[in-house]
Each structure stands twice: as structure tokens, then as C-alpha cells.
Amino acid sequence: MKKNSKRKIAVYLLFFLLSACSQNKIESEITEQFVENTSTNMSVENPSTTTSDVESVTSTTTIDLENIEGVEYLTITSREHTEEDLDYPTVPPAGGDHLGIWHNCGKYIVELLDEAAVHSLEHGVVWITYLPDLPLSEIQKLDNILEGNQRFLMSPYSNQPAPIVLTSWGRRLEIEEADDPRIPAFIEAFTDSSSSPEPGVTCNGGLGIPPGDPFTPHRGSGTDQMDDGSIEIGIRSQSISTSSSSGT
């Protein structure tokens, strides 16, 4: 009986030791799996954070306003007032002889008179033009850029060489997409810049009521309307009909 009891005790001890070893192995495997999973999760999260940081840095582009890539610098040799229908060397024009009256600043949804817009450029205004078929989403981006700005013209322009063109006196820049960071850079650099002959001079009191009427004159502009609502501004030797019979 004593031998049998000793054998049973020995068997129990052996079973206990084997069970303990097995338990330790399982716990070790669980621990290793946890560590591996944690390591994997960390390796996935870190590259994501790094990529986000890189994208954030990349999207913030610093542009030297003295050297904006792609800007054309033109020499303007004359800026006389004229009543002639002019052919300018660039499309849209970036300076030269012009009408004695300017376009009022603002966003227009119709095309403007070159000769009046050039007079606005003389006053330091930046003119943003776009092809008439430019997607509405692109036009909205331009609107957002110009929010709060009072010194600009914006209008469609048929047959210009790029989807978007930025123009100031003697400066122009062709743009493909409205999210190009050179757009706000150009506006900042050349609005009322020293390259304009008369920077800071008013761009109100001339022609136009944005967004749809480019020709109604301000009462103080010296341009009279006829009884039929048309005005005579001397250009093309003909009157231009307006959508309103009273000035602003």
C-alpha cells in the first residue's frame, strides 16, 4: 500500500509539473502574440502619421513674390486715353492705351470691354479671367480666393490661351487649375504694385454693376445714358445697350 501511495503521489507530481509547463508555454505564446500584434499596429500607425505630416508640409507652399514662376513681364510703352477699338498684343490685354472710363471692380459673369478693363489695370487692379466653359467648381475656388478682396476684376474671356489668366499692368500669368498656389501669390504681389502707373486709384465710379451688367455707368462718371438706356462711350463708333436705364 505504501508503494502504491508513493507511485500515485509521483504520478500526481509529474502530472502537475507537466500541466504547469504547458500553462507556462501557453502564457508565453499569448504574450509573444500580444507583443507581435502591438508591434504590427505600431508599425502601421507610424507610417500613416508620417505620411500625413509630409502631405501637410507639401500642401503649404511658400512662393517668392519677387519671383513667381511663369509670370510674363511686359514693357508697356503708351497709356493714352483713346476712343479707338484697339488690338492688343496679349489676350487678355495687360496694358496700353485705353478708354477714359474704367470698369468698376467686382465679379462679372459676362465679358468686359478690353479698353475699359485696361484702364482698371492702370489703377492697380488685378484682372482674373477664365474660359467660359471652366467648370463651376473651379470658378468657386476663384471666388474663395478673392473673398474679402475689393481690388479685382473677374470675368469670363473667350479664346484666351489658358483656362485661367491673371493680369495686372505689364504682368500676366497663365494658369491651368484654380488651386494653383501662384494665384493668391500673383494677386498679393501685383495688386496696387509699383508696376501699375496709378496704384490705389479708385476702381469704382466707372462702368458696370456686377455681376451681370458691365456697361451701366456711375452717375458721376461723366458718361450719359440715352432715353433708350444705351450709352455712348466713343468706342467702335457705336452705342452700347445696357440692362438698366438708370445709373448707379
Q: Residue 28: its pLDDT value, please?
A: 53
248, part of any domain: no
149, part of any domain: yes
CA dihedral 171, 195, 87, 84 (to 10 degrees): 160
67, part of any domain: no
The verdict on 82 and 54 lying in the same domain is: no
The verdict on 190 and 110 lying in the same domain is: yes
Report whether the peptide linkage leading into residue 92 is cis, meaning its omega lies within 30 degrees of zero. yes
Q: Which residues form the domain of 22?
A: 1-60
Residue where a domain stops, chosen among 32, 60, 88 = 60
The verdict on 208 and 98 lying in the same domain is: yes
The verdict on 237 and 124 lying in the same domain is: yes
pLDDT digits (tens, 9 = 90+) for 62-114: 899 999 999 999 999 999 999 999 999 999 999 999 999 999 999 999 999 99
Strand partners, 130: 156, 164
pLDDT digits (tens, 9 = 90+) for 17-73: 445 555 555 455 544 554 454 444 433 334 343 444 433 333 446 899 999 999 999
Q: Is 50 exceeded by the pLDDT of residue 219?
A: yes
The verdict on 102 and 150 lying in the same domain is: yes
* Mean pLDDT of the region 213-237: 61
Residue where a domain stops, chosen among 39, 60, 81 = 60
153, part of any domain: yes
The verdict on 43 and 107 lying in the same domain is: no
* Grid coordinates of 177: 487649375
The verdict on 192 and 226 lying in the same domain is: yes
Q: Residue 247: its pLDDT value, please?
A: 36
175, part of any domain: yes
The verdict on 76 and 47 lying in the same domain is: no
User: Which pLDDT band, with edges at 50, 70 and 90, does 240 fall under?
Assistant: very low
pLDDT digits (tens, 9 = 90+) for 153-211: 999 999 999 999 999 999 999 999 999 999 999 999 999 999 999 999 999 999 999 99
Residue where a domain stops, chosen among 10, 27, 60 = 60
Number of domains forming the structure of the chain: 2
176 secondary structure, DSSP code: S
Q: Residue 224: its pLDDT value, please?
A: 54
Determine the 3-state secondary structure of 208 from DSSP.
strand
143, part of any domain: yes
Q: Is 90 exceeded by the pLDDT of residue 218?
A: no
The verdict on 35 and 85 lying in the same domain is: no
196, part of any domain: yes
